[in-house]
Chains A and B, each alone.
Chain A
Amino acid sequence: MMRSLLISSVTPKILANAHLYEADYLIFDLDKTISIEEKDSARELLVQAVKHIDYNLDNIIININLISSDYWKEDIKDLFAAGIRNFGIHLEEEKHIKEIDEFLRVLENKSNVEEGSCKIIYSIGKPFLIMNIQNIVMSTNRILALSFNKDEFRGKIKVERHKNNEDLSLGKKMLVMGSALKDIYCIDSPFEDLSDEDNFIKEIKNDMNIGFNGKICFHPSQVRIINNIYKDSYYYKD
């Protein structure tokens, strides 16, 4: 199940406890929340945490740095060595997919790990990429989930934010269709307003009704709500 994904910052206190809030998946971010000067220390902190904290590694996703950056290869290398097999990538260009696949294939072979063990969650927001979602999904076997990048999508569409998020609707639905091509999870980006529980619940229910399977959240108190709503979803009723 991938109902709830708790995204946590890479800091000592949070690393020790993030896995205790019963989220289906944990996401640790090395990209947007880490400054350039601290890329190395965050990566190492995460490596040591993975080695020593009582995590279940199958449920951990590491958001690595952009493929256009200098850091992503070290991110994958070091965390793969520590046991991580799930990587979250913010997809900027379709051509990066082949590069990533090849890099992972070489790494898996070198380490005598079954080829294809490493899985990816692609965060996609660019309308161009969403329109090409069929190609993207069919070009690789490593995709675990597609994550809708609300901010990037909105940024490109250049429209004022709608109250009921109507502006996002088509982008979300196309991502769902793309995911359906290969039975990949489809998940939505976080809801920012911690104090607005009513609209949070509304958004989750809307997502669920158009075919999303889960939601990223950034506060432990949101996990329970997401898990409870998705528990009743058609997708997970088994």
Chain B
Amino acid sequence: MIRSCGNEKDSDALVIVDLENKGRNIEINSKLKDMFGEYMEKAIIEILDEMEIKNIKVILKDYGALDFVIKARTKVAIKRALKGGNK
């Protein structure tokens, strides 16, 4: 199930998740990847741990979002994917 949450706007992020994946796979797209990539990944992993998700592919399209935004977008993308149904 592929779902997303967020916006491709300044200071925001778009997170796309796919629950049909083996293991955890995180892809980060951001101009600030060199400077903050580790924080971005850590924020996503914290949510994956909190929600006990072991199998997922996460694509982050970041536009200068703070960690709390990345966390929120990730959590809701996953919730939406878990709920399933039509888009």
Contacts and interface: CB of A to CB of B under 8 A. Distances in A.
Nearest to A51: B68
Contacts of B61: none
Interface in B50-85: 65-69, 71-73, 75-76, 79-80
**Contact size class for A?**
10 to 19
Interface residues of B, number: 17
Interface stretch (A40-48, A105-113, A179-187, A205-213): A40-48
Contacts of A11: 12
Given A40-B79, A40-B80, A41-B5, A49 B11 contact: no
A22 to B, nearest CB: 22
Contacts of B68: 15, 45, 48-49, 51-53
Nearest to A14: B11
B38 interface: no
A212 B72 CA distance: 37
B10 interface: yes
Given A40-B76, A41-B6, 16 more contacts: A12-B11, A12-B12, A16-B66, A40-B79, A40-B80, A41-B76, A44-B72, A44-B75, A45-B72, A48-B68, A48-B71, A48-B75, A49-B72, A51-B68, A52-B67, A52-B68
Interface of A: 11-13, 15-16, 40-41, 44-45, 47-49, 51-53
